[in-house]
Amino acid sequence: MFNINYLRVYVFLSLAAVLLLPSYIYFSLSPQFAKLIVKNAEREAERVTNHLIAMFLADEPDLSDNGVLEEMTRAEERVMRDFQLEKLKLFSANGEVVYSSDKKDIGARNTNGYFSEVVAKGKPFAKLVKKGRESLEGMTVPVDVLEIYMPVMRAGKFVGAFEIYYDVTEAQDTLHRLMSRVYGVLFLISAGLMCAVVFIYFRASRNMAKQRELDQEKERNYQAEAILNNLLELSLVTISLQEILEIFIHQISSIPWLDVEPRGMVFLVGADRAVLELAAQRDMDEATLSRCARVAVGTCVCGRAAATGECHFSSCTGEFHDIIYEPMAPHGHYCVPILSSKGVVQGVITLYTRAGVKRNQRAEATLLAAANLLAAIIERKRAEEDREKLISDLQQALTEIKALQGIIPICSFCKQIRDDKGYWQQVEQYIGKHSAAQFSHSICPQCMKEKYPELAKEDPA
């Protein structure tokens, strides 16, 4: 059977995969999309810078030339519109703003490290500034802005830089909407997969639990059937009922799932049917054996089972216990009546449990089945014993009858017979002792004439 631990590992890995996919998209792919926007903007800024250089700085080595600045100012509106710029600045080599679409920035100097360490060395520098946050120059922006510094190089020498502000709000919103849809779809897919995995897990767990219960039930049935089959085999072997009962109490008290202790007793109903007599036991202490050797029917748990013909259960010592002594360890009982095929109580099986153990219907049903089989074995063994006794009595009678057929020493005068011990007995006494014959005394006609002639004359015969 598939191990539940493997199923748990599979479910864990499936859930991890379902959770990792959205996490991967959120923490890895989404930033990559944002970087792609920045990268595209950098490429666009590079093209704009090259175009601006071609327009205004192609023949002017000095970026602070008034003619250049005036020309840029005149073309400002067209440049901002055509290139869709949010803001445009021009820095000199020392970081001073020589031109800005926002005139109040002109004359300010950029002393930040990124300008001198990155831009002044001919490398672009860009930063995505979220709405309501400060730009690299400390200005709070009202929209999502991509702030890009593009160096202006002449013969490999840094002569200035353009600072371009792109409004990327629309691109960011588009990206966010797209990612939101992706997250929504992924959430639905993930939720569906998680529900499917959880459903499969619980369904498989339930099926495994049922299969495990069936296997346990099969094992329990196998153990019970093995003991019952063993009893049937023992009933066919020429051993005494006492030996069968001893073997039975050892085997039935050894079944692990019955949750009973490895000790117990078997009682048989006495000849007067008023007392249970101990017939077999396993590992019982002397105090119990002495007090429970004979238990009156109706007394204590065992006696009540014999009186009612029903299985009695007690979970603790004080419950229905009449025979109590010190020291008596706390315990419980299954007391199962042994009923004949006619419903007559033949005895009681008594098994011990730990104190507090709850009644188990399955265990009780197994014990009742074992008791029914034991009842049949007891009936059979007793029938065999009665048959053997009858055969023995018949054989003894036949032997005695055959003895009468031999030579019998009889007195020639008084007709007494001498027995094997040399004593003389009357004929009727000897024959009555050695056979089933009985005598009724009377007087024959000849003796009547000799002993009572006066009565013989009156007899018409």
Q: Tens of pLDDT along 116-166?
A: 999 999 999 988 888 888 887 777 888 888 888 989 888 888 988 988 888
- pLDDT-derived band at 1 (thresholds 50, 70, 90) equals very low
Q: Is the dihedral of CA 242, 244, 245, 249 positive or negative?
A: positive
Mean pLDDT of the 156-177 span: 84
Q: At what angle do helices 241-252 and 361-404 cross, to 10 degrees?
A: 170
Question: What pLDDT does 400 receive?
Answer: 60
Write out the residue limits of the CATH 3.30.450.40 domain(s) in the chain: 238-382
End-to-end CA distance of the chain: 103
Give percent of the chain above pLDDT 70: 91
Write out the residue limits of the CATH 3.30.450.20 domain(s) in the chain: 4-174
Instruction: Identify the CATH class of 4-174.
Output: alpha beta
Please give the Cα distance from 278 to 280 (Å, whole number): 6
Question: What pLDDT does 449 receive?
Answer: 78
User: Average per-residue pLDDT in the chain?
Assistant: 82
Question: What pLDDT does 330 receive?
Answer: 85
Higher-scoring residue by pLDDT: 75, 276: 276
- pLDDT-derived band at 276 (thresholds 50, 70, 90) equals very high
With beta carbons less than 8 A apart as the criterion, state whether 97 and 89 touch.
yes
Furthest-apart CA pair in the chain: how many Å? Answer: 196
Give percent of the chain above pLDDT 90: 12
Question: What pLDDT does 65 receive?
Answer: 64
Q: Is the pTM of this model over 0.75?
A: no
pLDDT digits (tens, 9 = 90+) for 338-364: 999 889 999 999 999 988 888 888 888
The answer, yes or no, to whether residue 257 has pLDDT greater than 60, is yes
| CA nearest neighbour of 349 among 312, 317, 377, 385 | 312
Question: What pLDDT does 102 receive?
Answer: 87
Look up residue 129 and give its DSSP letter: E
With beta carbons less than 8 A apart as the criterion, state whether 421 and 404 touch.
no
| DSSP β-ladder status, 275-282 and 424-425 | unpaired
Question: What pLDDT does 256 receive?
Answer: 84
Q: In DSSP terms, which residues pair with 90 in a beta bridge?
A: 99, 162
Q: In DSSP terms, which residues pair with 198 in a beta bridge?
A: none
Going across the sheet that includes 145-154, the strands are 97-100, 87-92, 157-167, 145-154, 125-129
Topology of the domain covering 238-382: Beta-Lactamase (3.30.450)
The answer, yes or no, to whether residue 220 has pLDDT greater than 90, is no
